[in-house]
């Protein structure tokens, strides 16, 4: 864009030029004298050179020669500013392309700018080129009066309409300032009416209480600085207006000097920057907050014990992850993860991979959810995690990935397991207690009620023989009652034993011991015993329980043998599919109808055969002992064919 250059030493005149150029939207530079002109012409594309009114005739001739005869790349059109005084232009006219009369109105300047010569025509300019001055100068004079009015109206409209405080201060003396003007914006913004301000001395405002003394003194310092320096000054100030509203202003003071350079007036303008300052402050605070949050986030991400977070893109590839996640992946699957790796490729367990894939897809479909899951290497590092899945959105609200927040809940799961285990124990205890209460109520009662009945009959009996018979029954009953109480004692012993003695026991020696005690029955029944227990089979158990369990089951197998065939009993020992040691005792005896008696099988005093020795206490105690050792007992049976008991030892 072409630039206009003015050479003029008077700052006020330069200011007037500048204002017009600015209003026309034209680029403009100025120099106070001819020094530096060559540099300026070389630096930017100057197409109009205005020679100011304050230049001496000699300087004008000097500049014109320099431009027209010098070796410059640019050949600007030269416009000489004329003042009212007539001057001899014969010497300079050959160099001058146009004239303008000072003071001029904006349209006149605009006309000069519009008449810019096409660049090619400038080349031909030289001292020989003739130009007449008279007529344009006359014409300009007529236009100037109109233009001045226009210019004033224009400036007035700016003064009135601009949303910027403009005020005029007359410099009356040193530190003595009188307000001579304040535009509507000033009145609006300060709330001070023009009549309260105009022709008032700054000190008057303080006396009237429109300004504090301090504020008035501050203003005077600034105004005086502007006066003494003769420079435009700019500063920010806080203004407390009546009503206590504090606002922040950017103020600009421009000095107006007379011909001697004495500043007699200050044109001030102020802009309310309160909001701007608030926004700036808010911005600073936001930045600070953001930085803090960033630091916090970073510290979370970098903390080795911190929460585990990772995010994946729509192809399950890592976008970001915390150090803790990196370490977890290393610990569980032995992989060093990196951004861009597909996470599904790293999960080595097929079932875990399927589970993860499914959950990732749910999140990628926009679901947000949390699940407790078990992940990890089957043998070593299987652990429980609570995983919170969330979809990740772009600014356009499209799902671009997912984020998973992981919490290690192994400890919580262990607590849950322990709790459910204790609940089981409590339930078992409760069941046993109920059973025990039932036993007490049923068995002791039947004996005591019999005793009562017998005594009643004894009292009513008439013959000695009848009395003797009843006493005989009374003896029997008291014997049975004794036996029942003994049984209950045994049961209580199993139920209440807290700390059981545990030793390493060889199963075979306990089997031999039981067979020895049962030897007579085995011989009588001609029973065949298949002892398939490996000789060195050993495990940790309570000795008296193992003795009782083996004896009870063997004795039952013999007792309930089938009348039509030779009894066969086999003893086996093996580990089940989960590695639990099992003692198995199979017989070919009468069997038990499990559909009918299943739930009562281990109940106390439950008998299922017409055997004279059946007392219904053995299996009850056996089951209690097995369970007290942390194992359990299972039975399979077919009536008429036989029974198999499996004792799970742990």
Partner 1 sequence: MNHSKSIFIVDDDRIYQLVMAKIMSRLDPSVQINSYLDGSDALEAIAGNLAKGAPLPELIFLDINMPNMDGWDFLDSFLGLAPEPTTRVYLTSSSVAFEDKHKAMLYPSIKQFLIKPIPKETLIEVMKTIL
- Note the residues at the interface with partner 1 (CB under 8 A): 438, 441-443, 445-446, 449-450, 452-454, 456-457, 460, 473, 476-477, 607-610, 614
Residue among 34 and 457 whose Cβ is closer to partner 1: 457
In three-state secondary structure terms, 400 is: strand
In this complex, which beta carbon is closest to partner 1, that of residue 113 or of residue 614? 614
Residue with Cβ nearer partner 1 (3 or 592): 592
Between CA 198 and CA 203 the distance in angstroms is 13
Least Å from the CB of residue 469 to partner 1: 9
Q: CB of residue 437 vs partner 1: minimum separation in angstroms?
A: 9
**Residue 650 CB partners (closer than 8 Å, separation 6+):** 539, 580, 581, 629, 630, 631
- Burial of 597 (C-beta count, 10 Å sphere; 0-12/13-18/19+): middle
Which of 259, 203, 205, 257 shows the shortest CA–CA distance to 231?
Answer: 257
Which residue's CB is nearer to partner 1, number 342 or number 476? 476
Q: How far is the CB of 471 from partner 1 (least distance, A)?
A: 12
Comparing CB distances to partner 1, the nearer of 226 and 592 is 592
Contact (Cβ atoms closer than 8 angstroms) between residue 227 and residue 255 = yes
Q: Is 303 left (phi over 0), alpha (psi -120 to 50) or beta?
A: beta
User: What are the distances in angstroms from CA 57 to CA 51, 78, 87?
Assistant: 11, 15, 8
Q: Tell the smallest beta-carbon distance from residue 503 to partner 1 (Å).
A: 38
What is the Cα–Cα distance from 496 to 499, expressed in whole angstroms? 9
CA separation, residue 280 to residues 90, 298, 362 (Å): 61, 27, 44
Nearest Cα neighbor of 405 from 370, 434, 451 is: 370
Q: How far is the CB of 311 from partner 1 (least distance, A)?
A: 59
Query: What is the distance between the alpha carbons of residues 503 and 517, in angstroms, rounded to a whole number?
Result: 23
Q: How far is the CB of 611 from partner 1 (least distance, A)?
A: 8
Residue found under tokens 């007036």: 265
* Residues in CB range of 154: below 8 A, 6 or more apart: 23, 106
Taking the C-alpha atoms of residue 24 and residue 151, their distance in angstroms, rounded to an integer, is 13
338 or 445: CB nearest partner 1: 445
State in angstroms the smallest separation of the CB of 555 from partner 1. 17
Of 118 and 612, nearer to partner 1 (C-beta) is: 612
Helices (H) and strands (E) in the chain, counts: 22, 22
Q: How far is the CB of 639 from partner 1 (least distance, A)?
A: 12
Calculate the alpha carbon distances from 187 to 114, 155, 184, 251, 413 in Å.
40, 18, 5, 16, 74
User: What is the Cα–Cα distance from 112 to 10, expressed in whole angstroms?
Assistant: 21
Q: Choose between 453 and 543: whose C-beta lies nearer to partner 1.
A: 453
CB of 427 to partner 1, least distance (A): 20
For residues 148 and 184, is the Cβ–Cβ distance under 8 A? no
The Cα–Cα gap between 191 and 210 comes to 10
- Strand runs labelled E in 478-555: 503-506, 528-531, 538-541
56 versus 462: smaller Cβ distance to partner 1: 462
Note the residue count of the chain. 650
Q: Which is nearer to partner 1, 350 or 460 (CB)?
A: 460
User: In whole angstroms, what is the distance from residue 60 CA to residue 79 CA?
Assistant: 11
Instruction: Answer whether 266's CB lies under 8 Å from 227's CB.
Output: yes
- Distance in Å, CB of 515 to partner 1, minimum: 27
CB of 494 to partner 1, least distance (A): 22
If the CB atoms of residues 110 and 562 are measured against partner 1, the closer one turns out to be: 562
Q: Using DSSP, state whether 473 is helix, strand or coil.
A: helix
Which C-beta is closer to partner 1: that of 382 or that of 597? 597
CA angle at residue 204 from 203 to 205, to 5 degrees? 90
> What is the rounded distance in angstroms from the CA atom of residue 189 to the CA atom of residue 198?
16
Nearest approach in angstroms of CB 537 to partner 1 is 36
Minimum CB separation of residue 436 from partner 1 in Å reads 13
For partner 1, give the closer residue by CB, 454 or 515. 454
Report DSSP state, residue 44: S
**Please, which residue, 69 or 599, has the CB nearer to partner 1?**
599
Q: Considering the complex, what minimum distance in angstroms separates the CB of residue 486 from partner 1?
A: 19
What would the two tokens of residue 307 be?
Answer: 């929460």
């Amino acid at each position: 864009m072409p630039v206009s250059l003015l050479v003029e030493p008077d700052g006020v005149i330069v200011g007037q030029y500048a204002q017009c150029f600015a209003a026309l939207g034209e680029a403009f530079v100025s120099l106070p004298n001819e020094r530096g002109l060559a540099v300026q012409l070389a630096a930017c594309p100057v197409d109009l050179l205005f020679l100011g009114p304050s230049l001496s005739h000699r300087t004008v001739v000097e500049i014109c020669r320099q431009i027209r005869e010098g070796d410059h790349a640019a050949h600007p059109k030269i416009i000489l500013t004329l003042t009212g005084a007539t001057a001899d232009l014969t010497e300079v006219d050959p160099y001058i392309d146009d004239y303008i009369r000072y003071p001029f109105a904006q349209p006149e300047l605009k006309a000069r700018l519009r008449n810019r010569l096409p660049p090619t025509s400038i080349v031909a300019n030289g001292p020989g080129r003739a130009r007449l001055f008279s007529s344009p100068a006359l014409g300009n004079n007529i236009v100037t009066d109109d233009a001045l009015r226009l210019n004033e109206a224009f400036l007035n409209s700016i003064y009135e309409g601009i949303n910027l405080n403009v005020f005029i201060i007359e410099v009356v003396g040193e530190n003595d300032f009188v307000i001579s003007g304040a535009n509507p914006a000033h009145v609006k913004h300060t709330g001070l009416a023009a009549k309260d301000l105009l022709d008032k001395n700054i000190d008057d405002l303080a006396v009237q209480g429109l300004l504090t003394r301090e504020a008035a003194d501050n203003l005077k310092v600034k105004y005086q600085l502007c006066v003494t320096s003769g420079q435009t000054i700019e500063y920010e100030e806080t203004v407390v207006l009546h009503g206590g509203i504090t606002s922040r202003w950017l103020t600009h003071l421009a000095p107006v000097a007379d011909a001697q350079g004495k500043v007699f007036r200050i044109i001030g303008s102020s802009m309310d920057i309160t909001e701007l300052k608030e926004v700036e402050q808010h911005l600073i605070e936001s930045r600070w907050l953001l930085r803090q949050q960033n630091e916090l986030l970073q510290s979370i991400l970098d903390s080795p014990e911190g929460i585990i977070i990772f995010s994946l893109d729509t192809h399950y590839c890592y976008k970001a992850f915390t150090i803790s996640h990196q370490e977890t992946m290393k610990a569980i699957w032995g992989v060093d993860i990196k951004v861009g790796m597909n996470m599904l490729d790293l999960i080595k367990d097929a079932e875990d991979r399927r589970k993860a894939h499914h959950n990732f897809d749910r999140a990628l479909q926009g679901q947000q959810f949390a699940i407790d899951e078990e992940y990890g290497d089957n043998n070593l590092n299987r652990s429980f995690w609570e995983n919170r899945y969330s979809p990740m959105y772009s600014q356009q609200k499209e799902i671009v990935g997912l984020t998973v927040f992981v919490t290690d809940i192994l400890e919580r799961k262990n607590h849950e397991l322990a709790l459910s285990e204790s609940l089981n124990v409590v339930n078992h205890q409760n069941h046993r207690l109920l059973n025990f209460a039932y036993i007490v109520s049923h068995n002791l009662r039947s004996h005591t009620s019999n005793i009562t009945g017998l005594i009643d009959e004894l009292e009513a009996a008439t013959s000695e023989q009848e009395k003797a018979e009843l006493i005989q029954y009374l003896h029997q009953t008291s014997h049975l009652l004794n036996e029942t109480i003994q049984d209950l004692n045994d049961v209580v012993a199993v139920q209440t034993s807290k700390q059981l003695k545990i030793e390493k026991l060889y199963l075979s020696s306990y089997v031999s011991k039981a067979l020895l005690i049962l030897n007579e029955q085995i011989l009588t029944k001609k029973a065949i015993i298949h002892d398939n227990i490996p000789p060195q089979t050993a495990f940790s158990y309570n000795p008296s329980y193992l003795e009782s369990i083996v004896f009870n089951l063997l004795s039952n197998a013999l007792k309930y043998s089938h009348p039509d065939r030779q009894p066969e009993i086999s003893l086996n020992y093996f580990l089940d599919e989960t590695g639990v040691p099992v003692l198995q005792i199979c017989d070919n005896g009468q069997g038990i109808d499990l559909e009918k008696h299943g739930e009562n099988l281990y109940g106390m005093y439950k008998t299922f055969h017409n055997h004279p020795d059946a007392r219904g206490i053995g299996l009850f105690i056996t089951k209690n002992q097995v369970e007290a050792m942390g194992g359990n007992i299972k039975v399979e049976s077919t009536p008429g064919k036989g029974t198999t008991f499996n004792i799970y030892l742990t």
